[in-house]
Amino acid sequence: MKKLLGYMVLLLLLTVISACGKDSSSAAGEAKAEPSFVRFVASTPGGAWYPPATAMELIISENLENASVRVSPGGGEANAKTVGDGDAEMGYTQTASAGAAYRGESPFEKEFTELRHLFTTTPVGLHLAVKKDSEIKSIEDLKDKRIGMAPEGYLANTVAERLFEVYGFTLEDIKANGGQISYLGLTEGPQSLVDGNIDVYLGQGLWPYGPFMEIDNNPGVRFLEIDEKIIDEFLEKYPVYSKFTIPKDTYKSLDKDLQTVGTYAAVVTHKDVPDEQIYNIVKAIWENVEKVHEASPSDKEWMKLENAVEGISIPVHPGAKKYYEEKGMKVE
């Protein structure tokens, strides 16, 4: 009987020790950092956002333990929807697009109130170019012409539509007058202008903007000006946009500064991405921003910490806000 009792006590002790071991190993497993996968939507590979996005991909992967980042093609308005729906953790867009998506304004069909701002990068201005020998002298002349728009989902198209409406015509008017609307890729669009398949090509980006640089050099183009009065009316009607000046030495085809309208490029996230993860991402990017500048020299002049919340119209993610406040920045 005593032997049986001894065996039972021993068995009980072994069970307790085994359970403790499992708890301790389970706790150790829980303490170990879980892998995090970051989906980052940018532009098409030929677009202005792809090089800086790939640089940020590398920075995050090198500085965040167990982080895996994948950059995918996208477009400004499309990216706001993708991130807002939770189908990506990060995305390039424009501050105007982010604000419109957040509020559910056109062209967005619902509110994307989950969007949060990470940082502003550069201004982006609208460009409209025709061939040097074109009979088109002003934007008013486009009422019956063949318009080469940016790829579908790009904010440039919304800005152009709204600008045309301030001039007194719509895309439907253009088609009704015998004109044509084509949504073209960033390589296809400029080439279509050179080949004479469209009468005007438009796009929006930081100057000098890649799709216009090659045709500016050869064969050369003429950029259409926006009337000063129209700019004032446009900004009064759409205050989320800004007025920018493209210096005349930006393109060979300019003989004077070019006034235009536009917004700011920005990287956004979803509100449900953990604060600590966003804090670490933002910290890593700003502490290694020179790698972004190397990948995208045009970002060097504009992408600076002091401009990180420029032009925003959505809330800043708490993780990003914490980092900026540590740097002495005031974030509303």
Q: Are 168 and 230 in contact (CB under 8 A)?
A: no
Biggest CA-to-CA distance, the chain: 111
Mean pLDDT for the chain overall: 90
Which tokens go with 326? 């540590």
Query: Which phi and psi angles does 328 have, rounded to 5°?
Result: 85, 15
The residue among 222, 266, 325, 284 whose CA lies nearest residue 65 is 284
Residue 194 has pLDDT above 50, yes or no: yes
Identity of the amino acid at 90: M
Decide which of 32 and 182 is more confident: 182
The residue among 142, 145, 94, 146 whose CA lies nearest residue 121 is 94
Q: How confident is the model at residue 171 (pLDDT cuts 50, 70, 90)?
A: very high
Residue 26 has pLDDT above 50, yes or no: no
Calculate the alpha carbon distances from 234 to 168, 260, 328 in Å: 12, 11, 35
Calculate the alpha carbon distances from 182 to 138, 175, 235 in Å: 20, 11, 26
The residue among 190, 184, 166, 164 whose CA lies nearest residue 175 is 164
Percent of the chain surpassing pLDDT 90? 82
Domains and their CATH numbers in the chain: 37-123+265-326 (3.40.190.10), 124-263 (3.40.190.10)
Arithmetic mean of pLDDT, 26-49? 70
| Secondary element (H or E) of residue 60 | helix 50-63
Cα-trace Rg, the chain:
26
Query: Which phi and psi angles does 179 have, rounded to 5°?
Result: -80, -170
Residue 11 has pLDDT above 70, yes or no: no
CB atoms closer than 10 angstroms to residue 218 = 8
Residue 17 has pLDDT above 60, yes or no: no
Q: pLDDT tens digits for 49-97?
A: 999 999 999 999 999 998 999 999 998 899 999 999 999 999 999 999 9
Which tokens go with 173? 């008017």
Arithmetic mean of pLDDT, 181-194? 96
Tell me if the pTM is above 0.85.
Answer: no
Q: How confident is the model at residue 204 (pLDDT cuts 50, 70, 90)?
A: very high
Q: How confident is the model at residue 34 (pLDDT cuts 50, 70, 90)?
A: low
Decide which of 3 and 326 is more confident: 326
